[in-house]
Amino acid sequence: MSQRIFEGLKVLDFTNNVAGPGASALLADYGAEVIKIERPVLGDDTRMWVSSVLENFTWYPWLNRGKKSVTISLTDPDGLAIIKKMVADVDVILQAFRPGVMQRFGLDYESVSKISPSVVYCSISAYGQTGPKATKAGYDQMAQAYTGLTDMTGEPDGPPTRVSISIIDHSTGINAFGSICAALYHREKTGEGQHIDTSLVGCAFSMIDPFEEVARGAALGVPIKATRTGRFTSYPGTGTYRGKGNEYCAICVNNDKLWGLLCQALERPDLITDPRSNSVLSRMKNAPLLHNIVADWVASFDDINEALEKLDKFGVPCAKVNSVGDLVTDEYLLARGAITDIPAPTSMQARGVKTIRARGPWHVLSKTPLQMRKPPDLGEHNVEVLTRYGLSADEVVKLQDRWNKSK
Amino acid sequence: MSQRIFEGLKVLDFTNNVAGPGASALLADYGAEVIKIERPVLGDDTRMWVSSVLENFTWYPWLNRGKKSVTISLTDPDGLAIIKKMVADVDVILQAFRPGVMQRFGLDYESVSKISPSVVYCSISAYGQTGPKATKAGYDQMAQAYTGLTDMTGEPDGPPTRVSISIIDHSTGINAFGSICAALYHREKTGEGQHIDTSLVGCAFSMIDPFEEVARGAALGVPIKATRTGRFTSYPGTGTYRGKGNEYCAICVNNDKLWGLLCQALERPDLITDPRSNSVLSRMKNAPLLHNIVADWVASFDDINEALEKLDKFGVPCAKVNSVGDLVTDEYLLARGAITDIPAPTSMQARGVKTIRARGPWHVLSKTPLQMRKPPDLGEHNVEVLTRYGLSADEVVKLQDRWNKSK
């Protein structure tokens, strides 16, 4: 009975960079035919990012695994005419232009839904389709800065620090995927399509609780800004602990039971009942004192792994702070399939590179697992796809020549 | 035709803390009946977190909006017998115990699917259900540390820095939601249920590209560890810029077009063609030099907002680094509905508090919008729910008394 979940579903993807492509990559992994519209000549921005330039080609292929690439000039009337045929034919559309751009092309949800009422149309933007900032440009960095994530991260009294990866782009992509799946479920039951408005800032803000932060800061008398990552939300929870060999670990205790286990590991049972540490609230109020006790304990081991083994033995949640450099050969990640090989794009295969080492599936569905398929070269599927929409192969080639020259 | 997407769907949720409750909250927002199983007396850990203790009650209610709370002792045979009736009756199960725990209760997917083959059963854990670390305890902090996120974040040559919010918990919740929706779509078409294995470490790792990091570090001759957030993935992209008044902003330029706009804003058109900055690769190689030019420019304004206005005028993506304290009254977030009021739990309403100010919807579906409904008090729905499974109201009260006393 099992089949790929979205087998037979057609997706038209106008997005670029990380968030949108991340969402449509999951649709492709689960079997949808995703047709990615790219600019002639240049294609997706990520084709030009450094690893691509260096030919260590990872960003683009991973984010666009399993898709078909079609180059079309949207500003050319012939290009737009083809696109209009395509939007009427697909089940799902993703777009991440600034609000207003799709309207100018007559490709906005209102226009498309008139000819295709069952379409699920997902718009991704920095600040959302409505409101006073709708047309403002923005990337991951802006969402992190705007929502306080940057301000909350970093050393106490140090500068605000960006989370070092495009974590908001990625999580916006996952949000877009989830909301598209929910809308498809609704469509499957009712036949009704709809528009989805999701944004980088909205997704970032959904993961931060400013009301909690403000209430806690006031109750503890500690301004958030001055503490950043050093502020205490539970204890221990936020900091890292340095071992003798300049290696670090993280420890997390968020309830009385785990605190008891930590006290046993530290051989400090007195701290279980000590009024300075016998509740979540008292531990938070006395976090600096407790932090020194734990930090001294970690630093007392010649090898940080000995501290971690002891914590493990008592069931205290802990982990070594790994460097990404160590992870590419990590046995656990390999055993889990979290590191895998995906097929290399056709052009790389022609050079003898058959696979790319990449991140593997992170949700494992027992009957319809996601499958990471081959990423496309730029315009690789022009003829295959565009001949479905009334063009001959010859006409496709001529159009592409014209667009390539005009760039 | 519109109705709430998951109206009529029954969800049984054994999860605690952030990731699992975040996933089931979205199912509830879209209309599912989510029955949350909580420990007698204590309930979810987040009921004891500081804001709850302080009565600034935000964590628990937001993450558990729209659910029903039922207290059951799983270790009591009478409790387990009720649970076994419930698992056979629901459409979706979420659980986040360490691998092995549900097996011991006879509540694992293999057991449940024998009596309920169409169940969608989502397991969330720190390291996944299989592999050499399956039974290890872990929270958000461990996933951040294990996957290199902590090591990559922070000041150059400073300590590794945890992202200051439980961003991996939240994104794991969104991943769980998306994969459950995909599995429900499959179930709607085929009648087939399945098991979903998702993990904190897996979700964190999916957002990091260690292969890209390693390749880039090697190509540029810069070890990742020594640079943390200061490392350059595109320029500008990763840093923050300080104004005269000790306020900061973020700027992001990830292609030649945006670089051109930035150069115009800075009145440095020479940098568009300068070989040290005329391509993604050259900008990355000369990032420290370019960083000083941009930093000096930002610092030359008396008010950082003047710099931001100028960047805006030229279309350069930029944002001020806001403090979360400023966000609770942010006009744009209010206008977008990203800040909203949700109904307060019954016990708070009895004290006259009708609503809680909270984060609003961050995916806006035009026809079936998510609706954030009232969070439950501990065990509020014991009678309503348990009387469906063969107990009289009287028996429910007696069982609860016994469990409350034995804790």
User: Which strand (E) or helix (H) includes residue B359?
Assistant: strand B355-359
Which residues pair with residue A250 across a beta bridge? A319
* Length of chain B, in residues: 407
CA distance B381 to chain A (A): 25
- Contacting residues of A for B144, CB less than 8 Å apart: 250
How do residues B347-358 score in pLDDT, each as one tens digit? 989 989 899 999
pLDDT for the residue A236: 79
Q: Please give the Cα distance from B24 to B17 (Å, whole number).
A: 12
Residue of B nearest to A153 (CA): B164
Asked if B82 contacts B146 with a C-beta cutoff of 8 angstroms, the reply is no
Asked if A363 contacts B175 with a C-beta cutoff of 8 angstroms, the reply is yes
At a CB cut-off of 8 Å and minimum separation 6, what does A157 contact? A226
Asked if B54 contacts B359 with a C-beta cutoff of 8 angstroms, the reply is no
**What number of other Cβ atoms are within 10 A of residue B406's Cβ?**
11
Residue of A nearest to B217 (CA): A325
At a CB cut-off of 8 Å and minimum separation 6, what does A251 contact? A236, A241, A262, A294, A311, A316, A317, A318, B141
Pick the closest to residue A107 from A90, A130, A125, A84 (CA basis): A84
Residue B172 identity: T
- On the CB side of A35, CA atoms within 13 Å amount to 24
pLDDT for the residue A300: 97
Which residues pair with residue B196 across a beta bridge? A365, B122
Q: By CB neighbour count within 10 A (0-12 exposed, 13-18 middle, 19+ buried), where does A264 fall?
A: middle
User: Which strand (E) or helix (H) includes residue B365?
Assistant: strand B363-365
A1: nearest CB among B53, B167, B192: B192
Residue among B6, B309, B324, B341 with most chain A CBs within 10 A, to mutate: B324
Q: Please give the Cα distance from A380 to A376 (Å, whole number).
A: 6
CA distance B23 to chain A (A): 10
CA distance A270 to chain B (A): 22
Task: For chain A, list the domains and their CATH numbers.
Answer: 10-206+330-406 (3.40.50.10540), 231-320 (3.30.1540.10)
- Contacting residues of B for A151, CB less than 8 Å apart: 248, 321-324
Residue of A nearest to B309 (CA): A136
pLDDT for the residue A233: 66
Residue of A nearest to B190 (CA): A1
pLDDT for A56 beyond 90: no
Q: Which residue has the higher pLDDT, B328 or B221?
A: B328
Structure tokens at B256: 């030649």
Q: Is the peptide bond before A345 cis (omega within 30 degrees of 0)?
A: no
Which residues pair with residue A248 across a beta bridge? A242
With vertex at residue A54, the alpha carbon angle to CA A51 and CA A58, rounded to the nearest 5 degrees, is: 30
Residue pointed to by tokens 């609704």:
A186
Residue among B282, B363, B407 with most chain A CBs within 10 A, to mutate: B363
A155: nearest CB among B59, B158, B249: B158
Please report which confidence band the pLDDT of residue A206 belongs to, taking 50, 70 and 90 as the band edges: very high
What sign results for the dihedral spanned by CA atoms B23, B360, A16, A386?
A: positive
- Contacting residues of A for B315, CB less than 8 Å apart: 137
CA distance A144 to chain B (A): 8
Q: Determine phi and psi for B10, rounding to 5 degrees.
A: -105, 130
Round the CA-based radius of gyration of chain B to a whole number and report it: 25
**What number of other Cβ atoms are within 10 A of residue A268's Cβ?**
16
Asked if B95 contacts B124 with a C-beta cutoff of 8 angstroms, the reply is yes
Pick the closest to residue A154 from A217, A219, A224, A202 (CA basis): A224
Most confident of A20-29, A45-54, A130-139, A273-282: A20-29
**Cross-chain residue pair A132–B323, CB shorter than 8 Å:** no
Residue B196 identity: I
Compute the average pLDDT of residues A48-60. Answer: 68
Residue among A55, A108, A174 with most chain B CBs within 10 A, to mutate: A174
Which residues pair with residue B68 across a beta bridge? B35
Residue of B nearest to A152 (CA): B164
pLDDT for the residue B233: 66
pLDDT for the residue B157: 76
pLDDT for A226 beyond 60: no
**Cross-chain residue pair B48–A280, CB shorter than 8 Å:** yes
pLDDT for B239 beyond 90: no
At a CB cut-off of 8 Å and minimum separation 6, what does B149 contact? A163, A164, A165, A167, B143, B163, B168, B204, B208
Compute the average pLDDT of residues A361-375. Answer: 96
Q: Determine phi and psi for A372, rounding to 5 degrees.
A: -90, 110
A363: nearest CB among B143, B198, B328: B198
A149: nearest CB among B162, B165, B199: B165
This model of the complex carries an ipTM of: 0.95
Structure tokens at B112: 């449940």
**What number of other Cβ atoms are within 10 A of residue B81's Cβ?**
11
CA torsion A212-A218-A224-A226 (nearest 10°) is -170
Q: Please give the Cα distance from A107 to B254 (Å, whole number).
A: 26
How do residues B151-193 score in pLDDT, each as one tens digit? 888 887 788 888 888 999 999 999 999 999 999 999 999 999 9
How distant, in Å, are the alpha carbons of A255, A357, A383, B106 from that of A345? 49, 12, 17, 46
Please report which confidence band the pLDDT of residue B377 belongs to, taking 50, 70 and 90 as the band edges: very high
- Contacting residues of A for B110, CB less than 8 Å apart: none
At a CB cut-off of 8 Å and minimum separation 6, what does A198 contact? A122, A123, A124, A128, A172, A175, A176, A179, B362, B363, B364
- Contacting residues of A for B249, CB less than 8 Å apart: 145
A363: nearest CB among B175, B240, B358: B175
Q: Which residue has the higher pLDDT, A45 or B220?
A: A45
Compute the average pLDDT of residues B233-258. Answer: 87
Please report which confidence band the pLDDT of residue A57 belongs to, taking 50, 70 and 90 as the band edges: low
Kind of pairing, strands B240-242 and B248-251?
A: antiparallel
Q: Please give the Cα distance from A358 to A73 (Å, whole number).
A: 31
Compute the average pLDDT of residues B387-392. Answer: 97
pLDDT for the residue A12: 98
Q: Please give the Cα distance from A112 to A92 (Å, whole number).
A: 11
B319: nearest CB among A54, A145, A320: A145
Kind of pairing, strands A363-365 and B120-125?
A: unpaired
Q: Please give the Cα distance from A344 to A58 (Å, whole number).
A: 10
Pick the closest to residue A162 from B110, B43, B167 (CA basis): B167
Q: Please give the Cα distance from B171 to B311 (Å, whole number).
A: 31
- On the CB side of B369, CA atoms within 13 Å amount to 11
Q: Lowest-confidence range among B185-189, B199-203, B218-222?
A: B218-222
Compute the average pLDDT of residues A326-331. Answer: 90
Round the CA-based radius of gyration of chain A to a whole number and report it: 25
Pick the closest to residue B240 from A301, A163, A67 (CA basis): A163
Asked if A338 contacts B202 with a C-beta cutoff of 8 angstroms, the reply is yes
- Contacting residues of A for B163, CB less than 8 Å apart: 149, 153, 163, 167, 229
**Cross-chain residue pair A50–B233, CB shorter than 8 Å:** yes
Percentages helix, strand, coil for chain B (3-state, rounded to 5) are 45, 15, 40
**Cross-chain residue pair A320–B192, CB shorter than 8 Å:** no
Residue of A nearest to B145 (CA): A321
pLDDT for the residue A227: 64
Q: Please give the Cα distance from B13 to B93 (Å, whole number).
A: 6
**What number of other Cβ atoms are within 10 A of residue B115's Cβ?**
11
Q: Please give the Cα distance from B322 to A379 (Å, whole number).
A: 41
Compute the average pLDDT of residues A367-377. Answer: 96
For chains A and B, count residue pairs whose Cβ atoms are closer than 8 Å: 505
pLDDT for A53 beyond 60: no
Residue among B212, B340, B359 with most chain A CBs within 10 A, to mutate: B212
Q: Which residue has the higher pLDDT, B86 or B238?
A: B86
Compute the average pLDDT of residues B16-20. Answer: 95
Pick the closest to residue A130 from A106, A109, A105 (CA basis): A109
B185: nearest CB among A181, A196, A205: A181
CA distance A134 to chain B (A): 9
Residue among B141, B184, B197, B255 with most chain A CBs within 10 A, to mutate: B141
Compute the average pLDDT of residues A65-94. Answer: 97
User: Which strand (E) or helix (H) includes residue B123?
Assistant: strand B120-125
In the 8-state DSSP scheme, what is residue B197?
E
Structure tokens at A76: 């050319």
Asked if A234 contacts A280 with a C-beta cutoff of 8 angstroms, the reply is yes
pLDDT for B50 beyond 80: no
At a CB cut-off of 8 Å and minimum separation 6, what does A277 contact? A259, A271, A283, A286, A290
Residue pointed to by tokens 């909205």:
A202
- Contacting residues of B for A149, CB less than 8 Å apart: 163-165, 167
**Cross-chain residue pair B48–A331, CB shorter than 8 Å:** no
* Length of chain A, in residues: 407
Residue of A nearest to B311 (CA): A137
Q: Lowest-confidence range among A231-235, B99-103, B254-258?
A: A231-235
CA distance B388 to chain A (A): 27
How distant, in Å, are the alpha carbons of A184, A196, B176, B186, B209 from that of B181? 9, 15, 9, 9, 26
Residue of A nearest to B214 (CA): A325
**Cross-chain residue pair A131–B335, CB shorter than 8 Å:** yes
How do residues A94-111 score in pLDDT, each as one tens digit? 999 999 999 999 999 999
Q: Please give the Cα distance from A321 to B380 (Å, whole number).
A: 41
Residue B92 identity: V
pLDDT for the residue A185: 98
**What number of other Cβ atoms are within 10 A of residue B395's Cβ?**
14
**Cross-chain residue pair B213–A325, CB shorter than 8 Å:** yes
Residue pointed to by tokens 């960083």:
B291
- On the CB side of A308, CA atoms within 13 Å amount to 21
Q: By CB neighbour count within 10 A (0-12 exposed, 13-18 middle, 19+ buried), where does A42 fall?
A: middle
How do residues B77-123 score in pLDDT, each as one tens digit? 999 999 999 999 999 999 999 999 999 999 999 999 999 999 999 99
Please report which confidence band the pLDDT of residue B232 belongs to, taking 50, 70 and 90 as the band edges: low
Residue of A nearest to B187 (CA): A5
